[in-house]
Each structure stands twice: as C-alpha cells, then as structure tokens.
Amino acid sequence: MEEVIHARGHENVSATHASTFEVTTDDYLTPAGDCILAVEADRAPADFDPAFVAACRDREAEITVTVEAGGRSQSVVGRGDPDLTFESERSAVGRTSDYVDDRTVVLECDAAAEGFGRELVAALADGAEATVTLSVE
C-alpha cells in the first residue's frame, strides 16, 4: 500500500538536519529549514487514505519513503507506531527518533536529511520536481 506526494525542490534546500527530514505544502523555505527536502507538496498526511494510515499505526509496520528528483532516487526505511495520527495538513516528517507529533509519518528511520545523497540534494536545491512515495508493509 502506498501514498504519493508531488512537490518541488527549492534553492534553500540544504538537507543537513541530523534527526529529521520533511516535505511541506508551504511554498517557501528559509535557510533555517535544514530538514526540508521539498516544498509545494500537493498532499499532506491528513489527505492520506484511512487504510494506509491504519496500516502505519502498527509498531511492526515497515515504512519506506522514497524521494525521487533530477534523475536521482533514495529510500529511507523506518517503522510505524500506534501513536501516529496523520493529522497534519501542512507537513510530512520522518524521524530517526521515536518522537511523535501530528506531522510524523515514520519513526526510527535509518537516515535523516543529512543522510540523503548530495547529488539528490543538489537536484532539489536546483528546484527539481520531486516525487515522494511512502509505502507500508
């Protein structure tokens, strides 16, 4: 089961945050947003199918987030949790920790923003169109 978000990069994408990565519906990004990979997302967690959300609310669920832009692609793997709400109408956040808020879509990821390949990050910083696919097993 999967959900797909279409977004775009931004000149201020730096992807240097050590514990999170984020995709936002906002149309801007300041240099302080070092976890944000893409802006102008066409969907947020509140838009996801209830069946997908239910599948992610299992502590044993394996959630994969794949970011594609500029001919580059990278996947990050984490887990679900019963406390995930998928209520945010603004941002989807992946975390290396087990912290949960309304933006969180995956926990204990094997990488944060700083772990994304620099060629992919460069494409995002050049404003490339991005596809973010979340899949759950």
CATH of the domain at 132: 2.60.120.630
pTM, to two decimals: 0.97
How many domains would you assign to the chain? 1
* List of E strands, the chain: 2-8, 20-24, 36-38, 62-69, 72-79, 91-95, 104-106, 129-136
What digits encode the pLDDT tens for the residues 37-70?
Answer: 999 999 999 999 999 999 999 999 999 999 999 9
Q: For the chain, which residues score pLDDT lower than 50?
A: none
Give dist(CA 109, CA 71) in Å, integer.
23
Domain that holds residue 55: 2-136
